[in-house]
A and B are shown apart, each in its own frame.
Chain A
Amino acid sequence: MIMLEITNLHAGYAGLEVLRGIDISISPNEIVALIGPNGAGKSTVIKSIFNISDVTSGSIVYKGEEITDLHTHELIDFGISYVNQGRVIFSNLTVRENLEIGAELIRDRHVVEKNLSHVFRKFPVLKRKAGQLAYALSGGERQQLALGRALMQNPSLLLLDEPSLGLSPKLQKELFETISQLREDGLSILIVEQNAKKAIQIADKTYLLEDGKIALSGGKDIIKHEKIKNVYLGGRY
């Protein structure tokens, strides 16, 4: 069975075509990485799944259902959660409010409480700082809060856009451990990363996106590919 199947997707913004026919598939319980240079269209892939960018043609099928035209709340109800680029949180809300608002669409108070204690177990620092305004959090804590907020929605598929960007190597390491742990918990994850090496290491499958097209894809051994070696492991961009 396939969790998410993107076929021949063309998408962009108001007339500007960014993605020019891409195919990506994600199986249950799989981490799929999407790497590539800045401006290649990585974020646009995630935004297309979340119906934020304009999809001009192609299909996006999730658990057998076409989701191309669904509204955000329907996607969330379906179990897709999105953590956007930049560790975005509500800085003027408390940590607890940031998490609770993640579960906005869940009506059952008990489920919300259960998810909250799950997130607090996963990220103890958020529990300690639950009552503080989120703007006081450090970069690493912000990323945990952004992840925690997405987990409050009970997702089966998590879309992560450059979660490691701007984090120290130590925090990056912790973050990738957390992400692997989430897969153990049963989630499927699509992760966009600029840290190609790390991404390939934790992913079951990696796609290289260049100029709106998939230039290369493969498993962990993709790391041995000439192109990846020469261009993407030389450094980060």
Chain B
Amino acid sequence: MAVVAQLIINGLIAGSIYALVAAGFSLIFSTNKFMHFAHGSSVVIAGYLLFTFFSLWHIPFYLSCLLTVVLTGVLGVVLHRFVYLPLEKKNASTVVLLIASIGLLMLFQNLLQIIFSASVKTIGYVQVAQGVSLFGASITPLQIAIILLSFFLLILLYWFMKYTALGRNMRAIADNKELAEIIGIDHIKVASLSFFIGSALAGIAGILIGLEQNVYPTMGTMLIVKGFTGAVIGGIDFVPGSILGSYLLGLIENIGIWFIPSGYKDALSFALLFIFLLFRPQGLFGINKGVRK
């Protein structure tokens, strides 16, 4: 029983991080209709920003976090304005944008390797803590914080999307960009805003994972694959769907290692990714031709 509880808790922790990444990825996808794989860079760069601000420059922890989140959001806007928009203005296809985004992901990964070396960096704000016991499973205070904070942020995002005019405009652009334009919504402004919010969420994921594990240059690539898989499972252009899909992925991965060796954890999520792409590309809760299936 304790083992099952432990696996579920581990699944929730992983799912929380994936969900933060996937929510931003989906938000950006829904308003821009291309896959921003460099979203993974936002996660890893946030980890390194926090490492720089807090561990190297000794800026107070919460201020370091705030700076990190804001800068990561700004990074997303910069990529939108200076990479994707110019490409879109030249009528680049979504494939070109996709390739550009993968190029950015590689570029940032290499830049981080050059600046910080390939070795693992420890932020060291949270001392290795004794886990508390929950249903026989052990969970550290940081892990509890990860689960609660993600949950809170995702609810906040949901509220924002559903009940504010800006969120409504984002949903409108996701639904029908042309119509949004002829009623006077500035789609570039809205798209930039979704890059800011999405990237900031990725930044928070980067901070949390940086605190929980460590920071290393390839971590962004690893996480965007997971976030993408979660989004595909839930429905890539439907933010709540991709959030649920990510929690599901976290749980499946971690409960899966009850049955298969833990080394196959990543293979399991890849298998899921392919199954969904092949048989249910709109995801479990995705929007298909205007109808939420």
Binding site for B on A (CB under 8 A): 50, 52, 72-73, 76, 82, 84, 88-93, 97, 100-102, 104-105, 133, 135, 149, 153
Contacts and interface: CB of A to CB of B under 8 A. Distances in A.
Given A84-B179, A90-B176, A92-B287, 19 more contacts: A50-B182, A72-B181, A72-B182, A73-B184, A76-B184, A91-B176, A92-B174, A92-B290, A93-B168, A93-B172, A100-B168, A101-B168, A101-B169, A101-B172, A104-B169, A104-B184, A133-B292, A135-B290, A153-B183
Contacts of A88: 176, 178-179
Nearest to A77: B184
Interface in B151-205: 165, 168-169, 171-172, 174-176, 178-186
A237 B285 CA distance: 40
A33 B5 CA distance: 70
B182 A90 contact: no
A100 B291 CA distance: 21
Majority-rule SS of B interface residues:
helix
Nearest to A82: B182
Interface residues of B, number: 21
A91 B179 contact: no
Contacts, number: 60
Contacts of B178: 84, 88
14 contacts: A50-B182, A72-B182, A89-B179, A90-B171, A90-B175, A90-B176, A90-B179, A91-B291, A93-B171, A93-B175, A101-B185, A102-B183, A133-B292, A135-B290
A73 B291 contact: no
A92 B182 contact: no
Contacts of B186: 73
Interface string B249-268: 00000000000000000000
B166 to A, nearest CB: 10
A101 B178 CA distance: 14
A39 B174 CA distance: 29
B165 A104 contact: yes
Nearest to B291: A135
Contacts of A72: 181-184
A91 B175 contact: yes
A102 B184 CA distance: 8
Contact of B182 (A84, A93, A133, A135): A84
A97 B172 CA distance: 9
A153 B291 CA distance: 28
Contacts of B169: 101, 104
Nearest to B176: A90
* Interface-central residue, A52, A76, A97, by most chain B CB under 10 Å: A97
A52 B183 CA distance: 12
A101 B186 CA distance: 12
The 6 nearest A-B residue pairs measured at CB: A91-B290, A73-B184, A90-B175, A76-B184, A92-B175, A105-B184
Contacts of A89: 179
Contacts of B290: 91-92, 135
Contacts of A93: 168, 171-172, 175
B283 to A, nearest CB: 15
Contacts of B292: 92, 133
Nearest to B290: A91
B70 to A, nearest CB: 27
A97 B168 contact: yes
A92 B171 contact: yes
A117 B176 CA distance: 25
Contacts of A100: 165, 168
A90 B172 contact: yes
A57 B182 CA distance: 22
A91 B288 CA distance: 11
Contacts of A90: 171-172, 175-176, 179-180
